[in-house]
Structure 1
Amino acid sequence: MYSWSCRFGLMMAAIFAVSSGQALAQTSAPPVKASLRLDWKGGGQHAPFYLARDRGYYKDEGIDLDIISGSGSSDVVKQVGSKAVEFGIADALVLVQAAEQRVPLTAIAAYYQRTPIVVLSPQSKPVTDPAQLTQGVKLGSKKGSATFQGLTALLAANDIPMQKVTLVDIGFGVQPLLVKQVDAMMGFSMNEPIEAESAGLPVTVMAIADHGVDAYGLMIVSNPDLIAKNPALVKGFLKATAHGLSDAAKDPAAAVAAVNNAVSESDPARETKVLDRTLPYFQSDDKEAHGAGWQSESRWEHTIAIAKKLGLVERDLSAHQVFSNDMLPH
């Protein structure tokens, strides 16, 4: 027969086992499902998200992340504003427009620390200074596009009237440059230059960010209601993303592999080039001083001023109507 002390010990052991099992169940709760809407089809420029997901960084933060290809920043704004998705990637100028229209969303981190819009031209006849655009250069641009907005901002920053530029309205793609319909064209650093070089035309790129257009590029956005109700989810997402950004810079091959595993019909060679062109846009003095994703009030004020000069917004907006650093990892 067991003594009282033995029976007591067995009883306590059983209680401990039950309580330990309950604690384990609580700590192994299923991850929360969340969606990230990209600005465009997933590619090398989005590699940090795919790499962070592949390496389990979102799961470590209790998040089961679905990465969804997008069809432009305006679509992202609608999706995040209506709470159809938790997170999105959208252009800063589009976010300024959304703020004026009172769409509920907040930039929670800078993804591209500066705009990637460039003027590209053949190396044999390079355009390296905005003043050259007034010297008979036939410049291709798709009117109404983000790159046309970038051109308008570039000209305004350098006091160049639009009527002094020989503009040719073109569609998307680099064919007009290849067949010499135009002498130069507007594009994105990680897209059109790669297309031109792949077609056998070495090009020179002139970044508008280096010539007076100190605007933000793509931003990570979320809904203010989600930020208020579930800050842990938002902070966890940004922490995992920051880890992915760091890893993508250190191991680009793994980052491209993560994209190719997730995105059908992706070309590893092309996405490697895209990521290589994208990595510099993740860097800035703000990032070095404060960490990945940090946004400055002055940069946002400048971005808002550019949007107003372009006629994208009519009234003055406060930078704090657009962004917050509160959810960034410290």
Structure 2
Amino acid sequence: MKRRTFLAGTVLAGATLLSTLLPAVGGIATASAASLTKVTFIQEWPVADGFWIPWILGKDKGFYAQEGIDLEIVAPPTVADTMKFLGTGRANVAFTTVMDIIFAKEQGAPVEAIGRYGKENNWGVISEQGKRYTVAELKGKSVGIYNDAWTKAQLALMLKSAGLTLNDVKMVTAADDTVPLLLQKRVDVITGITNAEGTEMTTTGKQQPEFLPAIAHGVPNTPIFMFAGNQQWLKANPQLAKAFMRATEKSIAYAVAHPDEGVQAFATAYSKAYDPIYIKQQWSDTIPLLSPVDSKSLQLDAAIWQSLLTAIKAEGIVKAPLPADQYFSNQYLP
């Protein structure tokens, strides 16, 4: 499974635009199509993946229609286009990464986070089954990485916790997927997240990978994925934005409680981009990051945002970050 980097700007060669309007055909009665308001929801990745299961299933069950929303789920042509669509108003809301939001704000884009997807940063160092390392033991080892600033910053912070620097390891850059580097034994460890690279190690590598969590070694515990909105649209449509977040929270809760139904909804919607073994495992690996689903599941925290901003400023990723509360708002949450 070819994975994303954490920052915008990486272009997926040959990617095509996938735009789908999923039918609301669940067992719940919904309002007529004429009475619904279209909300365009741009995704973080040009190819459908298991992270999208809640809103795919939620639309299918009629949760968005119940809130008066005709949800249009759109995949961008490249990973660099998600925030372009959101910032220019071609999309109303987005599923994106925390670093994409920060970089978009640095460029003056009218975007802000309106909810989190997951409760922690599940990035770290992954190694083959049975080959567990401490941070100190990474000295002299080869590390498969993605060529983006935040990946290197997180790795640098981890190494710093053991008195090491990036110069103490041999970094091997993957074009779009670190997992083959590890499976082909071209590196000792790779960087990645539990429900992407970790999932691929399980499905492709047929093993249970070892995971060294970054948050246990000096990296801020900021969830990687976020829901974001165009600020002009949010200001003009506050009730609609709240309705979107209510439906999304309900969709996440339902998808977590009904994993097989979620995987089947994904299969129906994206049969041509569907790897059943991977998607089922990816959703299984994602559920723990979302659970338990409660009133605070989507809530954003200023202290956690500030810890991230402090870290990226120290690493020179953003020279003059804004105050934490200028990047997000909780006012649209249920």
Report TM bin, short chain. 0.7 to 0.9
SS of the aligned residue for 1:115 comes to coil
Match of 1:248 among 245, 252, 255: 255
Map of 1:165 onto structure 2: 169
2:9 corresponds in structure 1 to: none
Distance 1:159 1:304 in 2: 22
Structure 2 CA distance for partners of 1:57 and 1:125, relative to 1, 3 Å: same
Contact kept, 8 Å, 1:216 with 1:299, in 2: the verdict is no
State the 1:203 CA deviation: 1.7
CA-CA distance at 1:38 after TM superposition: 1.1
Aligned counterpart in structure 2 of residue 175 of structure 1, from 170, 174, 180 = 180
2:144 paired with 1:140: yes
Q: Secondary structure at 1:95's aligned position in 2?
A: helix
Task: Provide the C-alpha distance between the structure 1 equivalents of 2:83 and 2:186, rounded to a whole number of angstroms.
Answer: 35
**Alpha carbons 1:39, 1:71 under 8 Å: kept:** no
Which residue pairs with 1:88 in the alignment? 94
Among 237, 241, 255, the residue aligned to 2:244:
237
Amino acid at match of 2:181: P
SS for the counterpart of 1:141 is strand
Shift of 1:255: 0.9
CA RMSD of aligned residues (A): 2.2
Report the Cα offset of residue 307 of structure 1: 2.1
In the other structure, the counterpart of 1:99 is: 105
Look up the match of 1:21: none
d(CA) in 2 for partners of 1:240 and 1:221? 15
Structure having the higher helix fraction is 1
Matched, 1:116 2:134: no
Change (3 A) 1:280 1:200: closer
Q: Distance in 2 between matches of 1:209 and 1:72?
A: 29
Q: 1:292 to 1:148 in 2, by over 3 A?
A: same
The one-letter code sitting in structure 1 at the alignment partner of 2:146 is K
Q: How does 1:1-330 map to 2 (within 5 A)?
A: 30-40=35-45, 41-70=47-76, 74-127=80-133, 129-134=134-139, 136-144=140-148, 147-156=151-160, 159-173=163-177, 174-197=179-202, 198-213=204-219, 214-263=221-270, 264-283=272-291, 290-329=295-334
By how many angstroms is 1:28 displaced?
A: 8.3
Deviations 1:219-276, CA, capped at 9 Å, x for gaps: 1000111111111110110000000110111110111111111113312222111011
Aligned to 1:15: none
Report if the CA contact (8 A) 1:92-1:303 is conserved. no
Q: Percent identical across equivalent pairs?
A: 27
Is the contact between residue 91 and residue 218 of structure 1 (CA under 8 Å) also seen in structure 2?
A: yes
Using a 3 Å threshold, how does the CA distance of structure 1 residues 212 and 283 change in structure 2: closer, same or farther? farther
Cα separation, 2, equivalents of 1:189 and 1:28: 39
5+ residue gaps, structure 1, are 1-25
Shift in Å at residue 158 of structure 1?
Answer: 5.2
- Given that 1:97 and 1:312 are in contact with CA atoms closer than 8 Å, whether structure 2 keeps it comes out as no
Q: Is this contact kept in 2: 1:108–1:327, CA < 8 A?
A: yes
Per-residue CA deviation, residues 102-124 of structure 1 (Å, 9 max, x unaligned), is: 21101000113222322110123
Residue 73 of structure 1: how far off its partner (Å) = 5.6
Q: CA 1:97–1:200 in structure 2 vs 1: closer, same or farther (change >3 Å)?
A: same
Q: TM-score, structure 2 length as denominator?
A: 0.83
| Paired residue type of 2:186 | Q
Q: SS at 1:255's partner residue?
A: helix
Segment of structure 1 superposing worse, 314-323 or 260-269: 260-269
Question: SS where residue 313 of structure 1 aligns?
Answer: coil
Contact 2:54/2:248 (<8 A) preserved: yes
Shift of 1:37: 1.0
How far is 1:201 from its partner? 4.1
CA pair 28-186 structure 1, distance change in 2 beyond 3 A: closer
Higher alpha-carbon Rg = 1
Contact kept, 8 Å, 2:118 with 2:297, in 1: the verdict is: no
The alignment's TM-score, normalised by the length of structure 1, stands at 0.84
| AA of the residue aligned to 2:175 | G
| Residues 33 and 70 in structure 2, CA contact (< 8 A), matched pair in contact too | no
Native 8 Å contact 1:93 1:303 kept in 2 = no
Q: Which residue is equivalent to 1:18? A: none
Deviation, structure 1 residue 133: 1.4
Shift of 1:92: 0.8
Q: What is the distance in 2 between the residues matched to 1:38 and 1:28? A: 23
- Secondary structure in 2 aligned to 1:108? strand
Secondary structure of the structure 2 residue equivalent to 1:233: helix
Structure 2 distance, partners of 1:155, 1:175, is 23
Displacement of 1:71 in angstroms is: 5.8
Deviation at 1:29, TM superposition (A): 5.2
